[in-house]
Homo-oligomer: A and B are copies of this chain.
Amino acid sequence: MSEERIWTAALVVIGDEILSGRTQDRNVAQIALWLNLQGIRLAEVRVVADRTEAIVEAVNALRARNDYLFTTGGIGPTHDDITVDAIAEALGVPVIVHPHARAVLTEYYATRGGLTEARLRMARVPDGAALIENKLSGAPGIRHGNIFIMAGVPHIAAMMLDALSGTLEGGKPLASRTMGCWVAESEVADMLGAAERAFEGVQIGSYPFFRDGRTGANFVIRSTDQTLIDACFAQLAAQLAAAGHDVVDGGI
């Protein structure tokens, strides 16, 4: 596989609690950072409601055009957990009880009141799926082809990501280096644009902030090539300094 190939993933966050504003999502940032370590870029995210049609539409649109598709949420034991059924529908396969998931849950609940019918729901998978280990709460995540079905609770999702680390094919991780500067981005916009054009394969993001009554910005230089990043950083920092704006390596 050429080093030039960019591997992409999409994420479907499933949950009324995110759309209602009740819960602050943590999985987008967590999965983005983890994917980058695997050499995979998070290309797009959709947040959808706990509705079968919404999940089916998002899953089918995104799995076709990305190397990997992750979902978070909706894999618990209650009536609002419909992710497995919706994804099975998207894939056109039946839902089955996975024998190993059943065994894992039987053992996990042996000392916790036993495997009830509600709990057995968490052993249901789209036919053809493999499991993703969940050391924390028993109920496993699910892999089906290029689809990874994860828990919505962020620290359970984190455990599932741990279990997947190093198992997915990816490319070169996107590296980045940040410089902070107490300047209005509008004052140096031309300089930033010119620096990006001067270094092919580099993107520069500009992120303004307002703190303690002062205006500043962080400039994030991204590329798969650290040498390019450092060269771009050095040139831009010198230009900013020459214009009277000292930069803080690592950002403010």
Contacts and interface: CB of A to CB of B under 8 A. Distances in A.
A44 B16 CA distance: 10
Contacts of A46: 44-47
A4 interface: no
A231 interface: no
Interface stretch (A86-94, A162-170, A190-198): A190-198
Contact of A19 (B24, B43, B186): B43
A153 interface: yes
Interface stretch (A25-33, A96-104, A124-132, A141-149): A25-33
Contacts of A18: 28-29, 32, 45
Given A16-B203, A23-B207, A185 B77 contact: yes
A119 interface: yes
Nearest 8 pairs between A and B by C-beta? Answer: A21-B32, A118-B189, A79-B193, A21-B33, A45-B47, A77-B186, A78-B206, A119-B186
Given A16-B205, A112-B184, A203-B16, A77 B189 contact: yes
- Chain A contact-residue range equals 35 or more
A52 B245 CA distance: 31
A19 B32 contact: yes
A113 B20 contact: no
Contacts of A112: 184
Nearest to A48: B44
Given A19-B32, A117-B190, 17 more contacts: A17-B220, A18-B29, A19-B28, A19-B44, A20-B32, A20-B174, A20-B222, A21-B42, A22-B220, A24-B26, A25-B25, A44-B48, A76-B206, A77-B186, A116-B187, A118-B186, A119-B189
Interface in A149-177: 153, 155, 174, 176
A54 interface: yes
A113 B187 CA distance: 8
A160 B141 CA distance: 40
A63 to B, nearest CB: 15
Contact of A80 (B23, B33, B50, B205): B205
